[in-house]
Chain A
Amino acid sequence: MKSLAEVRAKMGEEYKQKFTRARVVVGLGTCGIAAGGDKVMKALQAIVAGRVLDIDVDFTSCIGMCYAEPTVEVALPGEASVIYGDVNPENVIRLIDEHVIGKKPVEDMAILQIVENGAKAYEGITLMEDYDFYKMQVRTVTSRLGRTNPESIVDYIATGGYEGLEKILSGMTQQQVIDEIKTSGLRGRGGGGFPTGMKWQFTHNSPGDKKYIVCNADEGDPGAFMDRSVLEGDPHSVLEGMIIAGYAIGADEGYIYVRAEYPLAIHRLNLAIAQAEEIGMLGENILDTGFNFKLRIKAGAGAFVCGEETALLTSIEGNRGMPRVRPPFPAVKGLWEKPTNLNNVETYANVPFIIRKGGEWYASMGTEKSKGSKVFCLTGKIKNTGLVEVPMGISVRDIIYKVGGGIQDDKKFKAVQAGGPSGGCLPEEKLDLPVDYDSLNAAGAIMGSGGLVVMDETTCMVDVARFFLNFTQAESCGKCTPCREGTKRMLETLTRICEGTGKPEDIETLERMGRVITKTALCGLGQTCANPILSTMRYFKDEYLAHINDKRCPAGACTELLTFVIDKEKCNGCGKCARSCPAGAITGEKKMPHEIDITKCIKCGACLAGCKFDAIYKA
């Protein structure tokens, strides 16, 4: 077998060179770019070129702190790396003048510092391991995110990349690889939680000389973006995981099915594949061992149901992406009727780490039945939105309050939605649940892909249930009646409740329909579509009753149930509300309190937005 030693030594040297010069690194994941990271990059390049400075300007992906985007890292040789947040094209010059040239970090913009490889720490800047957002995190899958250049294979190999592949090819049998994964206790990170080692074993055992490896990168859950972050931040780890799976199972071909909404992820995957082929990690006769593996990217075409495994496979084959009845499972009859192993992005990305450090190491993290760590996306009404990786078993409360910093604007917590349209909403009293597959299931939510959307007192739970139903109804493929017709009827009922024409019997109807659809739908999309309704009815029944019986929305979110009122004490008669009202519903004399005619009011809220004296409120 050909060894990677020479390539690794050469790339290691090249990687070390990076740290001999001053470096300024911009976070350019999709989120960083959306927050203006590319403009910061351009400004930086202009400064460096204009002043002919000896500075290395590089980029990385998202380090996870979406709330502080765009982020920039500055490091001088031998000194700690300082991460700066909320950088813009105007203030980036300070990083150059004060930190790079003046050798003094810009304290008011610095968020934290990372001390590695014997570097010298700065005084007065929080260490990453002491910083609240990272204190409870364990970074495995996300360890390269925001730290290496995702478009450079040099960075990947110099940080231990392809060591796992080299290790299995230098003497492990297929069974040994599968056993290592079994030892690790890794379970499917796409949400189902099926033991990965067992899945590999099934596909390995299925008869047939042609087998496929497929990566499900069709992340479509609203509120989840961990797969995008991993693909954009560490694409090689996904490739390496897939190649290892290919070897273990006996497959020579793989597909990555990735959402077309993720153009940057597709771009970086394409680059990674080309680089891996160039150094012989992918393609024919890998490392001279006679093992062949080729990878192709398939861009999805916009259908949420394609995240379901059988629908995904039929979509790769070029058909309408509709699910089919299982069994036979893809492990027996998958892509083009051949045995196929299908895992999610995060699952594959864990594999190289498990092989390199051993299954035992991985199993030492987490709980008895849920091992390792899980990446979550914190979004919604939370202070620190972003990407976090925590050990399994940590409580939801710790994730929200310690890692996430609590609720935005110090409002009252109401619920956290876990698992997207297939998941459920957990109330305050469930916050101490440990995060693992089984506890979340028992509480009526699911781990799902790992999206956590935090909601405060201004969010209406009936409206949230309607939101998800609207989504599943639009995304139902229409193949089976329970899902096609059932989601429509449930949506109609929820809409009526939100509009104030709900009837007392609606609650029972929703429960019954939910039960029937759960039991009879063909695929996971239909079977779980009632979860958001059932969980909100379980924990927030009062809100449903208020909508139905009192025609009132306690959260003040359902427009049809609101009345806009002018506070006569506060109104000074400036007339701005009357001018902004498109329906002519507001009248009053100058400098005298105005009034709203509720029969004319269309509840658009224009008056509320326009009032400078907080004199208009919703009741």
Chain B
Amino acid sequence: MACTCGCSNNTIDPKQQALQELLQKFKGYKGAIIPVLQGAQDIYGYLPKEVMQQISKDLRVPFSKIYGVSTFYAQFHLKPRGRNIVRVCQGTACHVRGGKKIFEAVEKVLGISEGGTTEDLRFTLETVACLGACGLAPVLMINDDTHGRLVPGDIQGILEQYE
């Protein structure tokens, strides 16, 4: 949307433009809802209500359905999240090798609990049922990086690498 405040900045919001391109790409594509929501979340970092409304209108799918899908899957988030997503594995292999202690160590270092985001939006803490790197249990994943064979003492150092 063009800026109406009178300032010189009347360019289109780049996020909005990316969303438009995404919607264009999936026009007429069967089963588009999930990939579109995934794409929109990549752009905005989460799914703002207005974005979901826009997707509903553009894909001609009721808003209730968009809302239903986005709340069913663990991957979608309706609130802003941190710049770095820390996912501590709580799978069976990690569980028997002390995954809980790793989780508690992360909680302590970040001062937030599961699902929480630090005030400076630097980190969001989540758990995940299995990351598939069980041979290196216990593990955690920060964004797309997997860290394995952890002991609680490693946590501080690992987290410091992420701004």
Q: Which residues of A contact B (CB under 8 A)?
A: 30-31, 33-35, 66-67, 69, 219-225, 228, 259-263, 298-304, 315-321, 336, 377-381, 385-387, 417, 420, 451, 453, 455, 459, 464, 467-468, 471, 474-475, 477
Contacts and interface: CB of A to CB of B under 8 A. Distances in A.
A66 B136 contact: yes
Given A67-B135, A220-B130, A385-B135, A318 B32 contact: yes
A315 B76 CA distance: 14
A261 B33 CA distance: 19
Interface in B28-86: 30-35, 37-38, 65, 68-69, 72-76
Contact of A301 (B38, B128, B130): B38
Contacts of B137: 379-380, 385
Contacts of A315: 34
Chain A interface main SS type: mixed
Contacts of B37: 301
The 4 closest A-B pairs by CB, nearest first: A66-B135, A222-B91, A302-B74, A301-B73
Contact of A320 (B72, B128, B144, B148): B72
A302 B136 contact: no
B111 interface: no
Contact of B92 (A304, A467, A475): A467
16 contacts: A66-B136, A67-B135, A220-B130, A221-B130, A222-B90, A225-B132, A225-B133, A262-B132, A318-B34, A318-B69, A320-B72, A379-B93, A380-B96, A380-B97, A385-B136, A386-B135
B22 interface: no
A420 B91 CA distance: 10
Given A260-B75, A381-B96, 16 more contacts: A31-B136, A34-B147, A35-B149, A222-B90, A222-B129, A222-B130, A225-B130, A299-B38, A301-B75, A321-B73, A377-B134, A377-B135, A380-B92, A380-B97, A385-B134, A464-B95
Contacts of A33: 145-146
Contacts of B95: 222, 464, 467
Interface in B136-156: 136-137, 139, 141, 144-149
Contacts of B129: 220, 222, 304, 471, 474-475
B131 interface: yes
Contacts of B148: 31, 34-35
B135 A453 contact: no
A223 B72 contact: no
B69 A69 contact: no
Determine the interface band of chain B, counting residues with CB < 8 A from chain A: 35 or more
A319 B70 CA distance: 10
A491 to B, nearest CB: 15
Max chain B CB contacts within 10 Å: which of A30, A34, A67, A299? A34
A420 B130 CA distance: 11
A298 B149 CA distance: 31
B147 to A, nearest CB: 6
Contact of B136 (A69, A224, A259, A316): A69
A594 to B, nearest CB: 24
A316 B31 contact: yes
A318 to B, nearest CB: 4
Given A379-B93, A380-B97, A223 B134 contact: yes
B133 A30 contact: yes
B92 A417 contact: yes
Contacts of B92: 222-223, 379-380, 417, 420, 451, 453, 464, 467-468
Contacts of B149: 35
Contact of B35 (A223, A299, A378, A468): A299
A504 B105 CA distance: 36
A108 B144 CA distance: 33
A60 B36 CA distance: 33
Contacts of B68: 320
A319 B68 CA distance: 8
Contacts of B75: 260, 300-302
Max chain B CB contacts within 10 Å: which of A224, A225, A261, A321? A261
Interface in B116-135: 128-135
A115 B56 CA distance: 59
A298 B134 contact: no
B132 A228 contact: yes
A380 B139 CA distance: 13
Max chain A CB contacts within 10 Å: which of B74, B134, B141? B134
Contacts of A387: 135
Given A260-B38, A381-B97, A467-B92, A34 B139 contact: yes
Interface in B1-51: 30-35, 37-38
Contact of B135 (A69, A221, A321, A464): A69
A460 to B, nearest CB: 10
Contacts of A222: 90-95, 129-130, 134
Contacts of B141: 261
